[in-house]
A and B are shown apart, each in its own frame.
Chain A
Amino acid sequence: MYNKLIFDYNTPNRVGYDLPTHFAKFDNSKLLAKYGRKQTMILPSASELEVVRHYTNLSLKNFGVETGLYPLGSCTMKYNPKVDEAIASLKGFTNLHPLVSVNECQGSLEVLYELSQKLEKITGMSGFTFEPCAGAHGELTGLMIIKQYHLARKDKKRTKIIIPDSAHGTNPASSNVCGFEVISIASNPDGRINLSSLKSVLNDEVAGIMLTNPNTLGMFEKDILKITKLVHEAGGLCYYDGANLNALLGRVKPTAMGFDVLHLNLHKTFGTPHGGGGPGSGPVGCIAKLVKYLPNPVIIQKGDHYEFSNSKTSIGHVSGYYGNFLVCVKALAFIDSLGETNIAKVSDNAVLNANYIKEALKQDYKLAINEPCKHEVVFGGVINENGVTTLDVAKRLLDYGYHAPTIYFPLIVNEAMMIEPTESESKETLDEFIAVLKLIAKEARENPDLVKGAPHTTIVKRIDEVRAARIPLLTYRELINYHE
């Protein structure tokens, strides 16, 4: 097995770059005497092929959506179209400085304007910003808008955000970064909001509520209209965490559910790649009365020309320029490829696929909620587990060539295993996956040690996470200087 670090390539005077010939003479000695670096660095010296081969070999130690089924719940690991990558690599998009004049970036502005228009139609919102670089960044931006809204109305008491205990961890974390106090409310066993616990915490100190719908158990909040009405009556705003929009795309508009602000994860619902954990994009949309608080500038159309428009009441910038622009290009290409005739089929088929898995596996795995689910289904471990945990099942799946589902989330289900197949997968792929999960359940009953010892076929086996935290070796220098 390939086992080198890039720092193992250190032949002096071997290079992996070239640069234009120096043409100007400049004596840097005075400058370096004042500002020059003396500290040495350990950096590799490798030829271009050595670099290419090293990273190619690293890539072979990874699993991607194109390797096999990646049913990671809440992450929407759908197919990332190749043409979208080709489009986002066009020089006209990649070679453009963000501070060029309006006349030099009409194409980029049109992309952002078009994407905003289409997302407004899909969500019902009245305006979007693309500055947030990821979902959690969108949450923070949305919460800032909520805060600004209350402050602008001199309603200074509203310092609390209500979040159900089934929520994604980013919700309470974003609230804290935004300077809100988090009121966590216990969910019903199905993860749905308990209306009486909601009522008990609603008062004039509540700035708003953060919800994802369907919730993290894949269940639609049946009482959503009542919930948003109650929060509005108490003077709060309703934030929609768009992480689970793939269940409702083209079928339910967040504004129709009563939401005022939302973020979308372009890297989930709109087919842009996750890149091993980013770059994502978390555009934030809001209803008409909140548009004036969006980060500046928003893009407006005048005839066939696009311009920037700034609001004096904006929350300010949340990132350097216009967010992850090239990710936005891919998302627009994804929407345009599907078009109006196919966009709702995304959620239809995602929900169909999840329910198909749910029905097929409920004899072997403990179904958390026996109701139709939306885009993902949550189980609570193997039936007759025989000492086999959800972690074991997840690791055994790796042996069979699958990525594992999300495990131990949501926190309110014991031994949670959250499966999200997405609309990208065919019936045959699902049938094979179901057969493997049934086989693992059988192995758990008949030969539990086989499952508990998994994975057996991966290039590394289970990793000592306790050791990693106890002896933090976070850089090459620390690694070579460490001796047991």
Chain B
Amino acid sequence: MHKYLPQTESDIQNMLKSIGVKDIKALFKDVPESIYLTKEIKIGKPLSEDELFKHFEVLANKNKTNICLLGGGVYDHYVPSVIPALVARQEFLTSYTPYQPEISQGTLQYIFEYQSFISELTGLEVSNASLYDGATATAEAMLLACGATRKDKIAISSALNPRLIDVIKTYASKRNIKVIEIELIKGRTSLKAFNKINDGSLAGVIIQTPNYFGLLEDATPFSAAIKENKGLSIVAVNPLSLGLFKSPLEMGIDVAVGDGQSLGIPMGFGGPYIGFMATNKTYMRKLPGRIVGSSLDSEGKRAFVLTLQAREQHIRREKATSNICSNESLMALWVTIYLACLGNKGLVDIGNLNLENAHYAYKKIISLPHFKKVYDADFFNEFVVETDLSLKTIDRVLLKNGYTSGIHVGPHQIMFAITERRSQAEIDHLVELLGGIKHV
């Protein structure tokens, strides 16, 4: 007996009788005897609900959730309570991809709203229904560019998040796509270095803003330069920054990608997050993944439906634009509700709060004796500082005081992310701790 298994012994006997076999094993008669297991696989005794919950509570408590100063693509942001509450509704949570649109209008409409939000944020005309995460979305954008231009070389900024670079390289190597990294000047992508390699052989160029070091980049000259050579411009962007900073459209970008984690998705030790991708109508039919469109039903009422499916794996098989099937639909709902709550005003407000808090912390930290600035101060919510103190000591002192330290970006450089969740008291205490560390 188990609460997830409703068939009783008498149900089983009655059903076997209707089927006309003597036992369940008879239904496996086509399985070679030598590989059919009759013994239990030893994976542990069943746990009752209470035991199960306690067991996992112990595991969860083995994690140390501190005041988080880590960023690098994943940030500790405010999660409005309405989101987990709404997303947990079984009608959203337990449904499948909306193949039966008549009874899936809820999913289809939120995807339509999600696509609209991504389109508004990026300024680009169309968005797909989601991809796995920011890294895979960037790799998919590379494949899109190579497919659209029939070229097999891509230029990427060395200031892309290393996680993005890893995934790009993994995908590229299997397709014999050549990846060229563009050098940096003072933490930003060098246009001069790019112009040297932009010789007509490139399928595209990928820039990130804010880049891995937290610095804002204006991709406009890159998009203009690659356009002349018939390549695509791709930007990986933090969507939370788009209330304040230039949209991909304003930078002349063809394809915008990124991770939606910063739009109210918990850090969750790496996932689930959501990758987004937007482009203009020219490349609409090259997009990977699902797309929802508005149409009419047989009575003339507005109704939403999966569309442009001729791009997809279940129709085109090996000729599909991508292999993606399941995406991150529920996380699209997560992001949609977040943006519905914030609106224009909220997006600007939270953007400014990130900006103010991060710059407040930055100014205080670089005025400490053992710390100094590395780059200019054109950053959003993350910055690099240099120190002659041991980074290990910094990590240890911070951890002891309830902080998770920043990312080491060099032997003497550390990067801190300061979001809207960091209070003045938390930042002041951080500065005090950093100021108190001495050489060993």
Q: Are B176 and A58 in contact (CB under 8 A)?
A: no
Tell me the minimal C-beta distance from A301 to chain B in angstroms: 14
Docked Cα-Cα span, A13 to B356, in Å, equals 23
Residue B89 lies at the interface, judged by CB distance under 8 Å to chain A: yes
A interface size (C-beta, 8 A): 199
Residues of A with C-beta under 8 A to B176: 179
Residue A309 lies at the interface, judged by CB distance under 8 Å to chain B: no
Residue B195 lies at the interface, judged by CB distance under 8 Å to chain A: no
Q: Are B5 and A317 in contact (CB under 8 A)?
A: no
Q: A137-B136, A339-B47, A465-B295 are in contact. List 18 more A-B contacts (CB 8 A).
A: A17-B341, A48-B341, A64-B93, A87-B56, A87-B60, A95-B65, A96-B65, A107-B63, A136-B323, A147-B174, A182-B318, A275-B92, A276-B95, A276-B96, A320-B270, A462-B298, A464-B296, A469-B308
List 30 A–B pairs whose Cβ atoms lie within 8 Å, in order of A's numbering: A34-B218, A37-B247, A44-B340, A59-B89, A59-B92, A65-B95, A77-B96, A81-B4, A105-B269, A134-B327, A136-B313, A175-B318, A177-B322, A179-B174, A271-B4, A276-B98, A318-B136, A320-B74, A327-B272, A343-B41, A352-B7, A461-B297, A468-B293, A469-B293, A475-B112, A475-B116, A475-B119, A475-B127, A476-B113, A479-B294
Residues of A with C-beta under 8 A to B166: 316-317
A24-B424, A360-B18, A404-B100 as given contacts; A278 in contact with B316, CB under 8 Å: no
Residue B404 lies at the interface, judged by CB distance under 8 Å to chain A: yes
Residue B337 lies at the interface, judged by CB distance under 8 Å to chain A: yes
Docked Cα-Cα span, A343 to B267, in Å, equals 31
Docked Cα-Cα span, A398 to B169, in Å, equals 46
Q: Interface stretch among B101-109, B226-234, B430-438?
A: B101-109
Q: Are B47 and A336 in contact (CB under 8 A)?
A: yes
Residue A329 lies at the interface, judged by CB distance under 8 Å to chain B: yes
A93-B269, A257-B35 as given contacts; A345 in contact with B344, CB under 8 Å: no
Q: Are B44 and A409 in contact (CB under 8 A)?
A: no
Docked Cα-Cα span, A25 to B352, in Å, equals 10
Which single member of A251, A316, A343 contacts B43 (CB below 8 Å)? A343
In the A-B complex, the 3 residue pairs with the smallest Cβ-Cβ separation, listed nearest first, are: A321-B270, A92-B60, A339-B46
Residue B317 lies at the interface, judged by CB distance under 8 Å to chain A: yes
Tell me the minimal C-beta distance from B339 to chain A in angstroms: 7
A92-B61, A336-B55, A477-B120 as given contacts; A104 in contact with B31, CB under 8 Å: no
Docked Cα-Cα span, A277 to B242, in Å, equals 27
Residue B243 lies at the interface, judged by CB distance under 8 Å to chain A: yes
Residues of B with C-beta under 8 A to A406: 99
Contact with A along B48-90 (1 / 0, CB 8 A): 0100110111111111111010101110101010101110111
Residue B259 lies at the interface, judged by CB distance under 8 Å to chain A: yes
Q: Interface stretch among B200-208, B328-336, B367-375, B382-390?
A: B328-336
Question: B residues 214-248 with Cβ under 8 Å of A?
Answer: 216, 218, 242-247
Nearest A residue (CB) for B293: A468
Residue A200 lies at the interface, judged by CB distance under 8 Å to chain B: no
Docked Cα-Cα span, A320 to B95, in Å, equals 26
A104-B404, A278-B331 as given contacts; A463 in contact with B37, CB under 8 Å: no
Question: A residues 346-383 with Cβ under 8 Å of B?
Answer: 346, 348-349, 351-353, 355-356, 358-360, 371-372, 374
